[in-house]
Each structure stands twice: as structure tokens, then as C-alpha cells.
Amino acid sequence: MPFIDVKRLSVHDPVQQSHLVANITFSLHRQRCLAVIGESGSGKSTIAKTLIGLISPSLKVDGEIIFDGEKLTTQTVKGWRGKRIGFISQDAMNAFNPIETIGHQMIETFHQHLGLRGKEGELHAIAGLESVHLKNPYQLMKTYPYELSGGMLQRVMIAITMMLSPDVIIADEPTASLDAYNRREVIMQLQRMKEETGAALIVISHDLGVVQAIADELLVMHQGVMLEHGSAAKIFTSPQHPQTKHLLETRLRLSKPLEALRQQNRMEAAPC
């Protein structure tokens, strides 16, 4: 039985009289990763926000979202967000309160969702920071969000999600604006979450390198419509829809100069 079962999901904007996404259907089992790809404005983030219950109340949502055998409603998803449904935002800087320390925000989150207090919550936070290989966790707990880089904040967000051990993790552009090293680190942490917690993972991304590294299944979006859905390996090697072929060819062509530069840098850095 699928852990997540989405049936005929549509999101309609009554003001603009348009569908943001239309008739989206897919299912996902535990310890599997579904990547959702498509051009900007294709509806990728709308799907993520709908699943996590962060869609604007002005929009009309139709269809069904079955989560662990239970139909999601506005109230149930609010109750499950954080503990059972983890969300990693693409905008790490704005995901944190700028006037509270990182440690305070982590401990408050663990108190709210896990009931941990005081020293117990602090130790849980430190263990999370260590799990994503952030140095000097005690000192890091005392810092404010603006004192950390986007990559570090992204890893803090992943640490919080990991320590909550959710059943499903939704990551919206988790590697956006990160350098090559931090992208690799984030991919490794997402893989670890899937393998160690048994979570189902949904990754929204335009980065085909990330998608190829982590996805078991692929859902291709275009102008709010699902073009293809199936094995990631099969779609990458034998895309069926012309728009999918165009998307993959364009992304891979754009990434070739960067990959060539990376290879050159590796060769120059290699010891003689």
C-alpha cells in the first residue's frame, strides 16, 4: 500500500480563472524518493505547498491526498506538519526568526513537537547539528540566522527535520543558491534521512544533477500539467513526451560547461 497517494489534485485560482496545477495523480512508498521537475511556473512548488498545507486560502483545492491510509484535511495537515510531515524550504534565510538564536529556535521546535525540555532539548539540537557535520555546535547554537551562510542554514533546517524523524519529507529546491560542495552535502543528508528514518521523500528541483543522484521516481510538470511519471532512470534515458526531452536536453546542455570546469579544477587540484 502506498504511503502517499495523491488522486486528481487540482489547484484553481478563482480570481485569475486559471488552474495552477490540474489533475495530478501519483503515489509513493516509504524509503522512496520522488523528484518533481519542470520549468519555472510549471506548478512544482504549488504541489509542495498543497501537500504541506501552506497553500493560500484564496485558492481552491480539489482531489484527494491520502497519507498513511488517512485523507488529509486542512486541520490534520496542520497537526502533522513538522512531526509527521517535514518541510525543507528553498528560502532558508527567511525560514528562521532573525531575532532568536539558532539554538533557541531548535529547542523550541523540539519542545513543541517532541515534548523535550531544557538540557534534553539542547542535547537533541546538538546531536542534530553534529549529524549534518556542522562544526562547533555549542557555539553555533548561540548564533543568529544572519550570522550564518545560506548553506549552513540549509543544513540546520535539515538537522531539525532529521531529529523530528517525520514520515514524509518535502524539500522545495533544497540546493538552490548553494555551491557545489554544499549541494553534495545536502544530497547526502537527504539520502541519509530516507534510509535511516524510512521516510518517503519528495524533492522539488530544477537541478538535474541533484535529481539524478537522489530520485527513484520522476514527475515532470509543464504549465500545471503532469507530462510523465515513472522510474527516474527510465525517463532520463527514454523520455516519452517531446517537452520532457526538450527540458532534459536543455538542462544537461547548460550544465556541461560547468561540469567541464569542475573536472578541470579536480585535475589541477590533484597531486602530481
Per-residue pLDDT of 162-192, as tens digits, reads 888 888 999 888 877 667 777 777 788 788 8
pLDDT at res. 71 = 84
CB atoms within 10 A of CB 11: 23
Nearest to 77 by CA among 59, 45, 50: 50
Work out the burial of residue 101: count CB atoms within 10 Å of its CB; fewer than 13 is exposed, 13-18 middle, 19 or more buried: middle
* Residues linked to residue 18 through DSSP beta bridges, in sequence order: 13
Alpha carbons within 13 angstroms on the beta-carbon side of residue 71 total 6
Q: Look at 259 and 40; give whichever has higher pLDDT.
A: 40
Domain borders along the chain are: 26-53+75-269
Predicted confidence at residue 258, as pLDDT, reads 45
Q: pLDDT confidence of 12, banded at 50, 70, 90? A: very high
Which of 48-62, 121-135, 178-192, 215-229 has the weakest average pLDDT? Answer: 178-192
pLDDT higher than 90, residue 9: yes
Q: Tell me which amino acid residue 14 is.
A: P
Is the pLDDT at 254 greater than 70? The verdict is no
> Cβ(85)–Cβ(52) under 8 Å?
yes
Dihedrals φ, ψ of 51, to 5°? Answer: -65, -35
User: How far, in Å, CA of 211 to CA of 215, rounded?
Assistant: 5
- 124: cell is 537533541
> Top-level CATH class of 26-53+75-269?
alpha beta
pTM over 0.85: no
Dump the DSSP string for 84-108.
TEEEE-S-TGGGS-TTS-HHHHHHH
How large is the C-alpha radius of gyration of the chain? 19
Do residues 21 and 10 make contact, with C-beta atoms less than 8 angstroms apart? yes
Q: How confident is the model at residue 265 (pLDDT cuts 50, 70, 90)?
A: very low
Q: Is the pLDDT of residue 108 over 70?
A: yes
- Judged against a pLDDT cut of 60, whether residue 263 lies above it is answered with no
Q: Which of 71-75, 95-99, 127-131, 188-192 has the lowest mean pLDDT?
A: 71-75
pLDDT above 90: residue 231: yes
Per-residue model confidence (pLDDT) at position 262: 45
Over residues 58-77, the mean pLDDT reads 83
Max avg pLDDT among 36-45, 101-110, 235-244, 254-263: 101-110
Q: What is the pLDDT of residue 252?
A: 64
In whole angstroms, what is the distance from residue 225 CA to residue 241 CA? 12
Higher local confidence (pLDDT), 267 or 103: 103
Distance in angstroms (rounded) separating the CA atoms of residues 62 and 23? 9
Q: What is the pLDDT of residue 106?
A: 95
User: Residue 261 pLDDT more than 50?
Assistant: no
Tell me the C-alpha distance between 97 and 117, whole Å.
20
Amino acid found at 237: T
Q: Which of 187, 135, 132, 192 is nearest to 156 (CA)?
A: 132
**In this structure, what C-alpha cell is assigned to residue 47?**
504541489
Residue with cell 512544482: 44
Q: Is the pLDDT confidence value at 20 over 70?
A: yes
Q: What is the pLDDT of residue 177?
A: 63
